[in-house]
């Protein structure tokens, strides 16, 4: 599955770009939320996301890169988030945040940054439905895939065993890296600069062919 990242879309014509990727068969829309604290960049908040809910019907896959997920989880669910992932590195009460996502009727997941050992996920494997593996340092689109991520994906795949958990990979997914990432065990590939750098329809088709 593919989840184009809105971060690389044209914000002056966002509705148009989202409809283009929906038509092109994107499975999810990946939505990066940054607060300028957890990562050194800022995007937008729940009110802006809510505006976009009427444009497309594909699921909104909200990736929270924020210090305080607890406060904002209910607001993003209210704005139409279908899946919510937050970082295992945040100082929040992880169990409480997963409860909040479930109580709001969204699908819960955890994100792991490049320098964090997969063992940090172990206590939560029976609670999450998505594990988002960051294959770049979070904060910016257009970075290069960190090669060590492939082993990490394989390790997490092993840890998951029979559980019903999707592995999503985010960062540096492009025509050169997609096949390797898929082969390592990813179920969902996030892609920003590759999909939106040119014709999203053609680029998604090419990514799909390369990973078939």
Question: What is the SS3 assignment for 124-169?
Answer: HCCCCCEEEEECCCCCCCCCCCCCCHHHHHHHHHHHHCCCCCEEEE
Cα 33 to Cα 37, 59, 86, 140, 158: the distances in Å are 11, 16, 10, 11, 29
Choose the catalytic residue: 10, 117, 170, 187: 170
- Stretches 3-11, 78-86, 92-100, 161-169: which one binds ligand DX5 (CB under 6 A)? 3-11
Smaller CB distance to ligand DX5: residue 22 or 99? 22
x-or-dash string of contact with ligand DX5, 158-197, rule CB under 6 A: ------------xxxx----------------xxxxx---
The residue nearest Zn ion at its CB is 63
The closest of 177, 190, 189, 187 to 156, measured between CA atoms, is: 187
Choose the catalytic residue: 17, 32, 126, 199: 32
Query: Does 152 sit near ligand DX5 (CB under 6 A)?
Result: no
The only residue of 17, 32, 61, 168 in contact with ligand DX5, by rule CB under 6 A: 32
Relative to beta strand 60-65, strand 2-4 is unpaired
Smaller CB distance to ligand DX5: residue 63 or 152? 63
Coil, strand or helix at 203: helix
**Residues counted in the chain:** 212
Question: Residue 170 catalytic?
Answer: yes
33 near 44, Cβ under 8 Å?
Answer: yes
DSSP β-bridge partners for residue 131 = 110, 167
Q: Which does 171 bind (CB under 5 to 8 A by kind): Zn ion, ligand DX5, none?
A: ligand DX5
Interaction residues for Zn ion, span 62-101 (CB under 5 A): 63
DSSP β-bridge partners for residue 191 = 4
Q: State the nearest-atom distance from the C-beta of 8 to ligand DX5, in Å.
A: 6
**Binding residues vs ligand DX5 (CB under 6 A):** 5, 7-8, 30, 32, 63, 136, 138-143, 170-173, 190-194
């Amino acid at each position: 599955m593919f989840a184009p990242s809105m971060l690389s879309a044209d914000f002056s014509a966002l509705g148009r770009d989202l409809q283009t990727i929906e038509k092109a068969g994107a499975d999810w829309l990946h939505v990066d939320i940054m607060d300028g604290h957890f990562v050194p960049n800022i995007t937008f908040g729940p009110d802006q996301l809510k505006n976009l809910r009427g444009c497309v019907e594909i699921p909104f896959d909200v990736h929270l890169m924020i210090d305080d997920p607890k406060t904002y989880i209910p607001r993003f669910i209210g704005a139409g988030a279908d899946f919510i992932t937050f970082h295992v590195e945040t100082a929040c009460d992880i169990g409480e945040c997963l409860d909040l996502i479930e109580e709001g009727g969204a699908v819960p997941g955890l994100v792991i940054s490049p320098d964090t050992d997969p063992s940090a996920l172990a206590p939560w494997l029976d609670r999450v439905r998505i594990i988002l593996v960051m294959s770049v340092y979070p904060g910016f689109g257009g970075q290069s895939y960190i090669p060590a991520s492939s082993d990490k994906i394989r390790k997490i795949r092993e840890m998951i065993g029979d559980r019903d958990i999707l592995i999503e990979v985010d960062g540096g997914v492009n025509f050169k890296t997609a096949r390797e990432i898929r082969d390592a065990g990813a179920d969902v590939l996030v892609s920003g600069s590759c999909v939106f750098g040119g014709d999203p329809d053609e680029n998604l088709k090419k990514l799909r062919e390369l990973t078939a």
